[in-house]
Structure 1
């Protein structure tokens, strides 16, 4: 069987698979070269350096997550859309732990300005606009929702909830309900951008 030629797209995809299988910290140029069956020097013909490779994983993950979110919120609004968006994040984090870890790093300018990042923002703001949030509040609400979802998922992944018998799915639903209530009263709590 003929081997697929090396390309940036192939290498980033293979690095993302490596991250999911062995952990994000395991992604190195040497490990990637071993995985695709080439010498490390061959990687540099397609990817500038390790930092560029890790940024590539970040952008790939954002694009994939955006596609999941789009499907999860289609035709929904309010709490249903919020729950769909949150669950899309949770499902993606569970299926792709290495890619999820890549998204927890600060994005460089190229990733932050990428079409994938713009899609995530677009879908998130579509969900939040249904709550009647004015444009100046969208950034603050996005940070709040993101911190809640990411914080929950980080604690869940770390096993921080395992010492209690109550199932984490119920706690997750409680968290989504709390987000929904907070967003419903957002403009009352913060009229015209007050602190």
Structure 2
């Protein structure tokens, strides 16, 4: 029987908050139960253990990030849309590092297809429409955007840019400008 006051939504949100605090890798059902002041068994009315909790946090994070990306890109195109989407990923990661890590959890094909994951690819494709790429080149460019956004963000979160100048914001702006130039002058070999 579910514990009074706990719902699946509250458990998943608490799990996401805990992941932001201690890191997604440290998120377990038993650690969450300790934080909520309940027995681990009490969570099993809401999640089927640590793997299910982690999957649900990943799905929540994918949806949150897709919603933010949609809002940021709406009405923009070209360089402005590219910067808006990149800044959304980077900002979300800084604000919610555990959730951001969760977005990279490998999901089974059925769960991934039903998640907000495909919306991320649609957002990238919406940004890329302004660059008039062929279908194949658009796919390559979606992968390039993911590599740049996630690569930079992951290195920045891990402190990879903390001990050098100029600061990472200056590098980020230059990288997005360079990415825009590349996309604007993309040619198929």
* Residue aligning to 2:94: 94
Q: Is 2:136 the partner of 1:136?
A: yes
> What residue in structure 2 maps to residue 47 of structure 1?
47
Check if 1:108 corresponds to 2:136.
Answer: no
Moved more, 15-24 or 101-110: 101-110
Partner in structure 2 of residue 76 of structure 1 = 76
In structure 2, the partner of 1:117 is: 117
2:172 match: 172
Mapped contact 2:55–2:105 kept (Cα < 8 A)? no
- 1:164-186 per-residue CA deviation (whole Å, 9 max, x = no partner) reads 22121110011101111121122
Q: Which residue of 2 aligns with 1:152?
A: 152
Distance (whole Å) between structure 2 residues aligned to residue 30 and residue 67 of structure 1: 30
TM value normalised by structure 1: 0.89
**C-alpha offsets along residues 146-191 of structure 1, whole Å, 9 cap, x if unaligned?**
11111111111121212222121110011101111121122x1x25
Are 1:126 and 2:126 an aligned pair?
yes
Tell me the CA shift for residue 37 of structure 1. Answer: 2.4
Pairs within 5 Å for 1:15-26: 15-26=15-26
For this pair of structures, how many residues does the alignment match? 187
- TM-score normalised by the chain length of structure 2: 0.91
| Counterpart Cα distance in 2 of 1:142 and 1:107 | 19
Runs of 4+ in 1 over 3 A off after TM superposition: none
The CA deviation at 1:42 is 1.6
Separation (CA, whole Å) in 1 of partners of 2:134 and 2:55? 32
> What is the Cα deviation at residue 128 of structure 1?
1.0
Q: Which runs of 5+ in 1 are unaligned?
A: none
Instruction: Quote the residue 2:183 is aligned against.
Output: 183
Give the whole-Å Cα distance in 1 for the aligned partners of 2:111 and 2:91: 22
- Displacement of 1:110 in angstroms is 4.1
The residue number in structure 2 matching 1:58 is 58
**Distance (whole Å) between structure 2 residues aligned to residue 57 and residue 175 of structure 1:** 30
Confirm or deny: 8 A CA contact 1:62 1:116 kept in the other structure: yes
